Structure 1
Amino acid sequence: MSISLGQPVADFTAQATGDTTVTLSQLRGRQVVIYFYPKDSTPGCTTEGGDFRDRKAAFEAANTLILGVSRDGLRAHENFKAKQDFNFELISDKDEALCRQFDVIKLKKLYGKEHLGIERSTFLIDADGNLAREWRKVKVPGHVAEVLDAARELHAQGSVQS
């Protein structure tokens, strides 16, 4: 199962920080940014999460909810979230169900060894639950600003249509 631009994103339910359960279909009416990152408390992931944290109010103004996803467990997520003062929830995807749904598990090389890991990727889902934009092989610098611009643009289009 893969996702395609302009198509509905299959519903999912996942455990997240703050003792919450996230169900995509219950978020209809809001845009959703789901960003996948390799690992809690690593430099790039900390920077990316901080960029989302620092722009949360702007995303909210564009009717957009932020969700981070990695394969780390909830305890690691809670620690990461608290330490970095993240103001959005992190989804634990230990069984890789969401990673597979969004096709972000890729063969990576680290110190000459190959392993399967999360390719840093971000997805913007519109208020009707359709995939509006996707960013794959993300480079952290400037990325969150680009996602915010897309969220604002999408929100403005939705406001015109309603």
Structure 2
Amino acid sequence: MAYHFVLPSSSGGEFDSAAHLPLVLYFYPKDHTAGCTTEGLEFNALLPEFATLGYTVAGISRDSVKTHQNFCAKQGFAFELLSDADETVCRLFDVIKLKKLYGKESYGIERSTFVLDAQGQIAGEWRKVKAAGHAQQVLDFVKELAK
């Protein structure tokens, strides 16, 4: 199955996934939180290497475009963050999961990453990701694909 979507972006425009293939797409729970900041900074640091291999990197959460813009500005992210407020793309990739925090249950984004190939097919996926070190793991995978 080829994955295609269009979402509002931190750049102020619309992000059409088909125009950015191959694509590293990471889903994260919330802007301005410790784990999400770590993950974003690590992807940002490796952005030139992903670009050299021909890959676009984009992050997705349910936060608004305005919140994404503030997060990008504060952290200096050079990639786009996409707003999936109605969870359409999150559900397409099945990353909305029941979570427990301090004894309370709620639905939220399970930190996950997908590598989409030039045809929009999933070439690699990671679920229940630990933020620290994950971007390097994805880059290593993409390098192997390029061989």
| TM-score interval (norm. to shorter) | over 0.9
Rounded Cα–Cα distance in structure 2 between residues aligned with 1:65 and 1:121: 16
Q: In the alignment, does 2:22 pair up with 1:8? A: no
Q: Does 1:23 align with 2:20?
A: no
CA–CA distance in structure 2, aligned partners of residues 56 and 26 of structure 1: 18
What is the TM-score when the length of structure 1 is the normalising length?
A: 0.88
Q: Deviations over 1:79-113 (max 9, x none)?
A: 00000000000000000001100000000011110
Q: Which residue of 2 aligns with 1:85?
A: 76
**Residue 124 of structure 1 pairs with residue 118 of structure 2:** no
Q: Distance in 2 between matches of 1:112 and 1:76?
A: 27
Q: CA deviation at 1:20?
A: 2.0
Query: TM-score by structure 2 length?
Result: 0.96
RMSD: 0.9
* Structure 1 residue matching 2:99: 3-state secondary structure: strand
For 1:44-72, what per-residue CA distance to the aligned partner results, in whole angstroms no more than 9, with x for missing partners?
Answer: 00000000000000110111100000000
Tell me the distance in 2 between the aligned counterparts of 1:62 and 1:71.
28
Output aligned runs, 1:20-59, within 5 Å.
20-27=13-20, 30-59=21-50
Number of residues of Structure 1 aligned to a counterpart in Structure 2: 147
Report if aligned partners of 1:16, 1:22 keep a CA contact under 8 Å in 2. yes
Q: Alpha-carbon deviation of 1:26? A: 2.1
Indicate the residue corresponding to 2:86 in structure 1.
95
C-alpha separation in 1, matches of 2:90 and 2:49? 27
Show structure 1 runs of 4+ deviating over 2 A: none
Tell me how far apart the structure 2 counterparts of residues 153 and 128 of structure 1 sit (CA, whole Å). 18
* Alpha carbons 1:31, 1:151 under 8 Å: kept: no
Cα deviation for residue 31 of structure 1 reads 1.5
Q: Which runs of 5+ in 1 are unaligned?
A: 1-6, 157-162
Q: Percent identity?
A: 50
SS of equivalent residue, structure 1 residue 108: strand
Q: How many angstroms does 1:119 deviate by?
A: 0.2
Contact 1:17 1:89 in 2 (8 A): yes
Max radius of gyration: which structure?
A: 1
In 2, Cα distance between the equivalents of 1:153 and 1:31?
A: 14
